[in-house]
Each structure stands twice: as structure tokens, then as C-alpha cells.
Structure 1
Amino acid sequence: MTDRTPEKKVNPGLKLALELGPVALFFAGYVMLKDRVFSIGGTEYDGFIVVTALFIPLMLVTTGLMWWLSGKLSKMQVATVVLVVLFGGMSVWLNDERFFKMKPTMIYLLFGAVLGFGLLRGQSYLRLVMEEALALRPEGWMILTRRLCAFFFALAVANEAVWRLMSTEAWVNFKTFGLTAALFVFFMTQGGLLARYGTEDEKKE
């Protein structure tokens, strides 16, 4: 499961479904079960914990399918599923929803730290991940990497603030819609950078 493995083409619609499907199903499951309490083995679990327990194998299955279909997984995908299993498993095992709520914080801190480490070495690790999707000059990659590094740290802070200060329902909405929208808006606002630092081939496309 390395980035050097040749990637096979995957239908874009299917790829999107595999990437966003688990999050959408988590949200739907939470809406249906949030007010219910389940007694399992003599222990009571609320709907959030039950949905989290279902989300973990779903993420493993969809990530495995993506690997099987494409022949590779990015390091970000691998890190995400590992943290889902780790923090989701801790929430289920300890019957404590706080651990799963911390998971986005850990993911964004990890991504931000990796990009920051690369910047300290004068390298853009983002380029290694997205070079096939974007054609930028080296200085453009460094600027985009700095921006995304800061953005990841900002998302980590935002997630901590939401889950600590707001209700579980508010956090689920933030995780499902807020974080996704924030990432979309971030890349949409990078049009000026892409236009300025894009290579000739990218500009033609």
C-alpha cells in the first residue's frame, strides 16, 4: 500500500462514493439512533457509540475496496483509517465518545506536522501526493504547502473548540458538513495561485 504502486483507473463516481459514503452513512446512522440507548452485554451504549462501532468496519471495507480497485492507497488514506480504528475503537471499548471526537484533531495535526516537517527541510511533501493532479512550478508548490499546513492546524483547533464547547449533534454536523465544506472552499480559493504558478501544460488544460 505505497504511493509507488501503479494506480489503476477507478470510476470517478464510485471513487467518490467510497470516499464520502462512510461519512454520509455515519451522519444518517447518528440521526436515526442519536436518541436511543442499547444494552449490550450488560452495558448501556448510546446511539453515537453504536454508530461509531459500525463506522469502523465500514471504513475498513471501503478503504480495502479502494485499494483493490486502484491498486494503491495514499499515505493520507492509510493514516486516516488507522486513526479511525484507533480512536473509534477507544471510544467503543471505553464507552466514551470523546476519543472519536478527537480523531479529526489528530488527523489534521498529523497532516499539518508532516507538511511542516517537509517545509523545514525545504521540500513540499504535498507535491509528492498531488503532483499527478496539479501541475505547478516549485515555488507554487511551496506556497500551497505552507497554506495547507496552516489550514490543517486551523481545522484541528476548530474541531477541538466544537467538540469541547458544543453538543454532540453540533459536532456531528460540523464533522459531516463543516469540515468537508471548509476543505472545498480552501481549494476553490487557490485559483489565483494556480493561475500564477501553473505550468504551461496546466494553463492549457
Structure 2
Amino acid sequence: MPNQAEPEIAWDELRPQMIKLGLELGPLVVFFIVNSRADIFAATAWFMGAMVVSLLASWLILRKIAVMPLVTGVVVLVFGGLTLWLQDETFIKMKPTITNGLFAAVLLGGLLFGQSLLKYVFGDVYKLRPEGWSKLTLNWGLFFLVLAVINEVLWRNFSTDFWVTFKVWGVMPLTVLFSLSQLSLLTKYAPPSEPTHVPPVVVET
């Protein structure tokens, strides 16, 4: 029997993914640098501005703004505004808990009603069988829940500088590694004619 052809990686997806990753990582780097040179309040102000620039750049370059970065941007502006107005860093520290908890609740709650909501986010890029969408949605929902718990533990028990450092240089590697771990799922549940896709990276900023 002839050998089965190796799956072809859809490299055309890599460029927009890398642009998207860079746009989402940018505000976090700004947040880290300003916090190290000034304080959490100055960093929050710059973070808010960088988020607005990132969303505008996403629209100009990719001609769209993904749902999750848009929701995250709104939460950043609301909780960042409260942080600056009340001069209370608790609000910006709780922002990742709120955002990740919201994503987890939406994804896992949708599964309870038989809806794989992640399909509505990535359905124009990835082609999966229904079981694959359910598994991918479950995995990302649980991952967001874990990130929310980690954030609660860190901001309540460690210094602000440690929290900022982990938010920038800890959460990103964890997210990328988790995303890469989903590659086998994308391959397993893709239709036979589909190429092997670059796994999605959903960054909580």
C-alpha cells in the first residue's frame, strides 16, 4: 500500500498568528517596562494607551479585531480607569481574574447547552468535526479557569513587581505551550483533506 502523505502545515496561517501575537504581547511589554521604571499606576496608564493602539493596529493591519482581544481591551480600560481614579492597584490586579473567569464561564457554560462557542471565534480558520470543537472548547475553558486561579493566588500573596513579571513573562509561555499542545487535537479531528493548522494562541493581556 502507498504511504499516506504527511499532513501539510497551513503556513499561510502563521503570518497573521504572529502579527496577532505581537500586537497582544506589545501592551504587556509596555506594562512591564513602565512598572519597572515608575510604578503600577503609571504602568496602568501606559497599558491602557497601548491596548487602544494595539486594537487600532489590529484593525489597520488585519482588517478585523478578534472578539477576545476586544473584550480584554474593554476590561483593561474599565479596571485600569478604576485603578487610576481610586488610586487602588487592586482593580488592575483583579483584571486577569475577571477576564479569564469570563472566558472560562462563557466557553464552559456554552458546552452545558451543547454549544462549542470557540467555533464562532476560529470557525473561519479551522475546520474541525463537532467532537473536535467540543474538546478544544473544553480545553481552553479549563485553561482560562486555571489562569484565573493562578492570578488570584499571585496578586494576593506576592509583591506587585512579582505579579507584573509573571503576568508578562510567565503567562505568555504557558499560553504558547498550551496552544502547541492542542496541535494533535486539531490534526486528529480535522477533515482528511484539511492541512495541519497552526494552533491558535489566545493571549489574555
For residue 31 of structure 1, the aligned residue among 28, 32, 36 is 36
2:178 paired with 1:173: no
For residue 116 of structure 2, the aligned residue among 107, 120, 124 is 124
- Report the CA distance between 1:32 and its aligned residue: 1.8
Q: Aligned in 2, Cα 1:203/1:18: closer, same or farther, shift over 3 Å? A: closer
For residue 136 of structure 1, the aligned residue among 128, 132, 142 is 128
Q: Aligned in 2, Cα 1:98/1:186: closer, same or farther, shift over 3 Å? A: same
TM-score normalized with structure 1 length: 0.82
2:93 paired with 1:101: yes
- Asked if the contact 1:22/1:55 (under 8 Å) is kept, the reply is yes
For residue 184 of structure 2, the aligned residue among 161, 179, 192 is 192
SS at match of 2:194: helix
2:97 paired with 1:92: no
CA distance in 1 between counterparts of 2:138 and 2:196 reads 26
How many equivalent pairs are there? Answer: 184
CA distance in 1 between counterparts of 2:184 and 2:62 reads 32
- Asked if the contact 2:52/2:73 (under 8 Å) is kept, the reply is yes
Unpaired segments of 5 or more residues in structure 1?
1-8, 34-46
2:160 paired with 1:155: no
CA distance in 2 between counterparts of 1:178 and 1:197 reads 30
TM-score normalized with structure 2 length: 0.82
- Report the CA distance between 1:107 and its aligned residue: 0.6
For residue 23 of structure 2, the aligned residue among 10, 18, 21 is 18
CA distance in 2 between counterparts of 1:156 and 1:134 reads 26
Unpaired segments of 5 or more residues in structure 2?
1-12, 198-205
SS at match of 1:202: coil
- Give the structure 1 partner of residue 66 of structure 2: 74
- Report the CA distance between 1:195 and its aligned residue: 2.8
- Asked if the contact 1:27/1:176 (under 8 Å) is kept, the reply is yes
Q: CA RMSD in A?
A: 2.1
Letter of the aligned partner of 1:99 in structure 2?
F
* Worse overlay, 126-135 or 139-148: 126-135
For residue 48 of structure 2, the aligned residue among 53, 56, 79 is 56
- Report the CA distance between 1:57 and its aligned residue: 1.7
Identity of aligned residues (%): 42
